[in-house]
A and B are shown apart, each in its own frame.
Chain A
């Protein structure tokens, strides 16, 4: 149903490191879950509109009026690594 390679591909898309054991275990568990999910593949759903919102609301718009921003110190306070005024990350170019 879903093999090691697919698990690794999806894990890479999701930026999840998996150990070899985890890949093995996940492949089994995901296959059993997807096996259950497959039951919907037999349904006749031609012409059925998909539902992405159950609420019948549209145009929940906000006026273009400024609201107070966070204090920089507050914004940075939870960062795992920071400089005086920014969030520090490993460089994407490295």
Chain B
């Protein structure tokens, strides 16, 4: 059963070859036996999934859910000490929606604290390990979800992506990760990192599973003012060719420092396959992409500094220093409850919004954001999709970058521009470099998920990537 993709498992359940209860228990036992620290909570033995209708499209294929999605009565700690043991009184809209569609909650997956990080080393509950090499990071911040899917302890999982947090761990773990168009998936119940950038999406074994899961995630939610209806229904991809598809390649951006030769090699080989499938490669420019990282590291921390103000020791979560007065309660609770990376971003964000600095930082970053969106608009006038590597490197070693936060940030250079523009992009595994998976990122205009999934599917068939052998 565990060799089956989620789609194949759903079909097997539909045919009656296996029952939903059997599928749930098999994966529950695998998740409980996980050795990668991919989970922060696993459904206890004897859990029976909530009843679903007989024609529920996902048939009972269980789902790993990133810790920061609120799940009623189930710990939802967002990888943070400050929320240790927190039991929300409600469930995130998208988790609820997927449960009703037949994907019951299997487990909560480990993550960087409040989704801030690219390695999962910022989890208060210990780092998750990469199943390809346990000395290496699985990527982040949705590292637990990526590792769980790659290791086959979950058929599929939910992640969130703010600057690359679905795509980058998918790349590092050799699986598929889709960052959808901003607004297409409800954020209600997702513990916020940066509200104007956060977007939930699927991490799956293949492109078909991503389409199947994403298709059930979308929809306008009256509880999320920034959500909107997807203009298309999401079809399961069938394309095997790329005839007539124009793929833009921002060559200048690929010459940046720090991109590993093995990554470039796998990327170029994949472009070659795309051409063989009939795609036309077009050199394009995204003139402001080089400034995306700077704009992102103003906007995301600024929003985060405000979003995290609610963790004050009053209504939920940790409280320290309560004996020494209100100010001490605030400052000690937040000192002891937040990890270093979260503190750094709160400080940067507070600084960028503070009196006298707003225009120089936040105001300018918002203008850069406009320019980046304009660049994409111009590019998508000429091409259908844009291709880059997902990340400049393969999975690095635990501890390798923790001493230098900026070097960690630089790993997001290919993923961040899409986040700032709110556009969809997918990462698919395209090969190995020194035995570690390399991700290939394909992005498109807003709501072009069907186009992206179709092209990714055709490439996936041609690449024939060998996933990690599931044991």
Contact = CB atoms under 8 A, between A and B. Distances in A.
Interface of A: 2, 6-7, 10-11, 13-18, 22, 26, 29-30, 32-34, 36-41, 43, 45, 48-55, 57, 60, 62, 70, 74-75, 77-81, 87, 89-92, 94
Nearest to A34: B348
A29 B421 contact: no
Given A55-B422, A80-B313, A81-B322, A60 B226 contact: yes
Interface stretch (B12-20, B361-369, B450-458): B361-369
Contacts of B335: 16-18
Contacts of A16: 331, 334-335, 338, 343, 346-347
A45 B348 contact: no
A54 B318 CA distance: 34
Contacts of B225: 57, 60
A2 B470 CA distance: 49
Nearest to A42: B291
A75 to B, nearest CB: 7
B370 A50 contact: yes
Nearest to B316: A78
A58 B274 CA distance: 40
A36 B326 contact: no
19 contacts: A13-B350, A14-B334, A14-B350, A15-B327, A29-B405, A39-B291, A43-B291, A45-B368, A49-B367, A51-B366, A51-B373, A53-B226, A55-B228, A57-B226, A75-B89, A80-B318, A81-B322, A90-B323, A90-B329
Nearest to B341: A29
Contact of B370 (A36, A37, A49, A75): A49
Contact of B367 (A7, A26, A50, A87): A50
B315 A30 contact: no
Contacts of A91: 325-326
Interface residues of B, number: 68
Contacts of B346: 14, 16
Contacts of B396: none
A36 B406 contact: yes
Contacts of B405: 29, 32-33
A78 B86 contact: yes
Interface in B216-257: 222, 225-226, 228
Nearest to A90: B326
B314 interface: yes
B179 to A, nearest CB: 13
B422 A37 contact: no
A77 B305 contact: no
Interface stretch (B60-68, B143-151, B292-300): B292-300
A29 to B, nearest CB: 6
A36 B294 CA distance: 6
Nearest to A60: B225
Nearest to B336: A17
B317 interface: yes
A70 B405 CA distance: 41
B89 A70 contact: yes
Contact of A62 (B222, B295, B312): B222
A2 B351 CA distance: 10
